[in-house]
Structure 1
Amino acid sequence: MPSRILIVEDEIFVASEIEQIVAEMGHAPIAIAADRASALRHASNTDIALVDLNLRDGPTGLDIGKILAQTHGVSVVYLTANPSQLGDGVPGTIGVVSKPVAERDLRDIVNYAVARRAAADAAPPRRLKLFSWSGGNAIHT
């Protein structure tokens, strides 16, 4: 069954590319959200969210990911050029990948998030830094 994936990104060209890749993988890109209000509007229909930190309404991505994961049970992976802004991470979320993200890496990240959501064993992608409470504390570089 395809996963419903929310893309939280305010750069439309980046968001559109992610949307296309997600669709090619057979998943359902449910929306592109450029700010907190639009991201949270789609929370109840989302399985996985790919979340940037700095959005149209400022640095709201950290809180968006936290709310999606902790309140709505969404599997969250942060995609950001500023991973250090997350410190040790956000409880309930999977991890972070530094942008830019190559298509192959994005596919690996989505596949990993899908597997984690299904409670299947999966090795984390090489570029994904897992948060310690998300099932592993190794940093993959």
Structure 2
Amino acid sequence: MTEPLRVLLVEDEALILMQLEMLLEDAGHSVVGTAMTASAGSALLRETRPELVFVDLRLAEGSSGLDVARTASDLGGIACVFITANPRQLGDDLAGAAAVIAKPFSGGVLEDTLAFLEQALRRPPPSLAVPHGMVLAPAFLANWAPAEG
């Protein structure tokens, strides 16, 4: 078995947070931390340096997942995936994230997403198809485009 992905969860709905944590751990991955606000999520990103962060767009205390995505981008080497009921608010570039999953989502969508992202992050390019229910950012897709020349 491959080394588990190290994942941070930033979600302000406790039930969704618990569901995500359970699904990730059942899939053999390691949840390195959870947060409900952007400031707590950004602090945990700096502290734990996960490979992957799942983040909601709207967080507790009126904070925004966009701040978490910016922190992940600034730190480098951390893929950010939004899980939100408002994917259209992200724009075509997904606000710098690698992908977005629309709420509500099924356990199957998350499992397929994890398998795809594990390949994308560990053994690119992924051989799996982009999972139904997940939209990839053009910049993330460009990582596997053939070089021109």
Q: Same fold, TM exceeding 0.5? A: yes
Contact 2:5 2:29 (8 Å CA) reproduced:
yes
Contact 1:4 1:28 (8 Å CA) reproduced:
yes
Cα deviation 1:8-61 (Å, max 9, x = unaligned): 100001100100010001111111110012111221421111110000022510
In the TM superposition, structure 1's runs of 4+ consecutive aligned residues that sit over 3 Å from their partners are none
| Structure 2 partner of 1:8 | 10
Q: Which amino acid aligns with 1:66?
A: R
Q: Kindly indicate whether residue 92 of structure 2 is the aligned counterpart of residue 90 of structure 1.
A: no
The percentage of aligned residue pairs carrying the same residue is 27
**Structure 1 residue ranges without an equivalent (≥5):** 137-141
Aligned CA-pair RMSD = 1.5
| Structure 1 partner of 2:131 | 125
Question: Paired residues, what number?
Answer: 135
Q: 1:72 to 1:43 in 2, by over 3 A?
A: farther
| Structure 2 partner of 1:139 | none
Structure whose alpha-carbon radius of gyration is higher: 2
| Structure 2 partner of 1:37 | 39
Partners of 1:72 and 1:15 in 2: CA distance:
24
| Structure 2 partner of 1:71 | 75
Partners of 2:105 and 2:21 in 1: CA distance:
13
TM-score (norm 1): 0.88
TM-score (norm 2): 0.84
Secondary structure of the corresponding residue to residue 76 of structure 1: strand
Q: 1:113 to 1:66 in 2, by over 3 A?
A: farther
| Structure 2 partner of 1:49 | 53
Partners of 1:53 and 1:5 in 2: CA distance:
17
Contact 1:7 1:51 (8 Å CA) reproduced:
yes
Partners of 1:57 and 1:72 in 2: CA distance:
26
